[in-house]
Amino acid sequence: MRTRTLCQMVWLAYLALSGLGNSAMAAPQGENLWAGADARIEKHRKGKATVEILSAGKPVAAAEIRVEQVCHDFLFGCNIFGWGDERMEDDLQTAYRKQFADLFNFATLPFYWASYEEAEGRPRHEYTEKVARWCKERGIRTKGHPLAWNFAEPPWLPNDSQAVFRLQLARIDDCVKRFAGLIDCWDVVNEVVQFDCPRFQQQAPKLTSAWLRVGQLEFTRQCFLHARQANPEAVLLINDFRTDPPYEKVIEGLKTSQGRKLYDAIGIQSHQHGGVWPNEKIWEVCNRFSRFGVPLHFTEVTILSGDEGRRKPGGPWPSTPEGEIRQAEEVVRFYTMLFSHPAVEAITWWDLSDLHAWQDAPAGLLRRDMSPKPAYAELLKLVKGKWWTHTELKTGKDGRAQFRGFFGDYKLYVMVEGKSVEKMFTLRKTANNHWLVEW
């Protein structure tokens, strides 16, 4: 029997107490899952805080307090591949950045080796640092994607699988160490389940050869070990579009190193070009992968605002009015279901705009001219409206007042006898959340 870490045991216990930790448990029907979503969100995404106001050590009664949330603890993200895109006019770039910052607190930056380091020894570090610093200035956390993926490869790699493996590990060392403190979350290995498929062997023969020589799991394990050594505080993910037993088998094969798991979270892609996931599938996938005792990140979410399926060769793939209405409805449903499951801690949309979107699909929350689709507006209503806390309080005789809010960062505006003070606090899931303001 495999020994579990303390962290994993705590996480599994939390899921068990939530009634959601046993993947073998029969999942409720979709309608029942939807009907219970708001109650689950209230239970799992909010907590109670006590505000105490003291003056010279004594309680201040009738102090007026305004509570304003400034950021979610939950990660609502998107890839930020359009930032600085030279194909985009200045006005479109300005709109892209504004719409991004208005909605998201999490950004995925591109680290595809083939395009990140087209010439040996000349990686795109300078550009990446600009994007990451722009994000940090706006309170947006960042993730690098991906460090290892053999879908494509730099043209300059040598015809020596041992040398390629060393270069792969050196790349991980360099990127993770260089950006520590600026990018502290990484998709370390991407789509490892089918690393040896014919398409990968054709598109990235040298990387695939190195992977085959070292072995699927050992190659993956070494990538994680190097990332961990380069930044012990980083959040490390394995990421795949597969949600079937082969992905589970890979995860099970990544054993702990010195008592610590190699990965900190499990990435699940959900590109829904061919049709949206029903509630039952959403729930089943979340329950099945929560058994590993780490948080789940839905790393690449796509719901189309045009015809579902795939574009005809050479033909356009437009967003349509009826498709945009459908997309908005499905975005609300998908995000609500994920936000209501306690194992999920991040959702990343893919891509923000239809302009230069993956597969040129109508997958954006924005149109090609950067105008928001209904889905953007509805998601904003959820993230910064329905799931956002702002309230006014007044202390009692004991100088205390309480409220219940969504986990995240808050600013308090306290007014006593015409004088005011501002304080920042964080409402945490695992804290007593006693906020003291001394006058």
Per-domain boundaries in the chain: 74-386
Q: Which of 69, 68, 70, 46 is nearest to 392 (CA)?
A: 68
Residue 313 is predicted with a pLDDT of 66
Residue 9 is predicted with a pLDDT of 45
Q: Which residue type sits at 11?
A: W
CB atoms within 10 A of CB 137: 9
Question: Across the strands, what pairs with 187?
Answer: 237
- The residue-averaged pLDDT of 100-113 equals 98
Chain segment 13-70, per-residue pLDDT in tens: 444 444 444 433 344 588 999 999 999 999 999 999 999 999 999 999 999 999 999 9
Q: Are 265 and 294 in contact (CB under 8 A)?
A: yes
* Lookup result for tokens 């194909």: 87
Q: Which of 309, 341, 148 is nearest to 226 (CA)?
A: 148
- The residue-averaged pLDDT of 120-140 equals 97
Chain segment 231-274, per-residue pLDDT in tens: 999 999 999 999 999 999 999 999 776 777 899 999 999 999 99
- Ramachandran angles phi, psi of 121, nearest 5°: 80, 10
Strand ranges (E), 252-385: 265-272, 296-303, 344-349
Comparison of pLDDT for 2 and 243, the residue scoring more: 243
- Ramachandran angles phi, psi of 184, nearest 5°: -120, 25
DSSP secondary structure code for residue 158 in this structure: -
DSSP secondary structure code for residue 385 in this structure: I
- Angle between helical axes of 90-103 and 374-381 (0-180°, round to 10): 30
Residue 226 is predicted with a pLDDT of 97
How many angstroms separate the CA atoms of 238 and 224, rounded? 9
Q: How confident is the model at residue 111 (pLDDT cuts 50, 70, 90)?
A: very high
- Take residue 375 and report the two structure tokens written for it: 């889905």
Strand 64-72 relative to strand 75-79, pairing: unpaired
How many angstroms separate the CA atoms of 423 and 49, rounded? 14
Distances (CA, A) of 236 to 160, 172, 227, 294, 382: 28, 12, 8, 11, 28
Q: Which of these CATH numbers, 3.20.20.80, 3.65.10.10, 3.30.470.20, 3.40.50.300, describes 74-386?
A: 3.20.20.80
Residue 302 is predicted with a pLDDT of 97
Residue 17 is predicted with a pLDDT of 41
Q: How confident is the model at residue 312 (pLDDT cuts 50, 70, 90)?
A: low
Question: Across the strands, what pairs with 235?
Answer: 185
